[in-house]
């Protein structure tokens, strides 16, 4: 844990608001005690609902490392990650995540993700978003190909 890296994430979040690029969120990815990538929320400026600070930083770090995993990396983010970002963080496999503001702090300024947490706890048929399986017998062919592919790169 290093305060200078958290301060950089906070600085990115403040600068992002001042430049009106997106929401008040910044993230830094560190490896071997050096910043290898940064990200700031650019959802509105890029018209991309997945362009949260953590996701942007993960994409940049993976490009920098030429890897799809963030082994031995730490993520410093100005706010507790939302459900989408937490999913991306778990898939990226860093060794630690440090955050500044809480999800309750974010909710106070109308960045409230509680509805997603609530939805994920419901069975599929009770969710507000229609989610229905179809064409499984056709879709399963990709999984069968993956399973038999001896050249696949597992993750």
Helix (H, G, I), strand (E, B) or coil at 95: coil
Distances (CA, A) of 128 to 69, 83, 121, 125, 138: 33, 17, 12, 9, 27
Rounded to an integer, what distance in angstroms lies between the CA atom of residue 57 and that of residue 38?
5
Q: Is 54 a catalytic residue?
A: yes
How far is 86 from 117, CA to CA, in rounded Å?
A: 12
Catalytic residue of the set 11, 54, 80, 132: 54
Catalytic residue list: 54
């Amino acid at each position: 844990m290093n305060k200078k890296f958290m301060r950089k994430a906070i600085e990115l979040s403040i600068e992002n608001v001042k430049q009106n690029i997106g929401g008040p969120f910044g993230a830094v990815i560190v490896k071997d005690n050096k910043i290898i990538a940064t990200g700031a929320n650019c959802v509105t400026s890029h018209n991309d609902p997945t362009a949260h600070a953590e996701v942007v930083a993960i994409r940049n770090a993976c490009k920098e490392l030429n890897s799809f995993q963030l082994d031995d990396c730490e993520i410093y983010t100005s706010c507790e990650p939302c459900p989408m970002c937490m999913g991306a963080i778990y898939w990226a496999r860093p060794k630690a995540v440090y955050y500044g503001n809480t999800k309750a702090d974010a909710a106070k300024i109308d960045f409230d993700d509680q509805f997603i947490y609530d939805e994920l706890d419901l069975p599929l048929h009770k969710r507000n978003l229609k989610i229905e399986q179809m064409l499984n017998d056709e879709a399963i062919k990709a999984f069968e190909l993956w399973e038999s592919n001896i050249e696949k790169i597992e993750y």
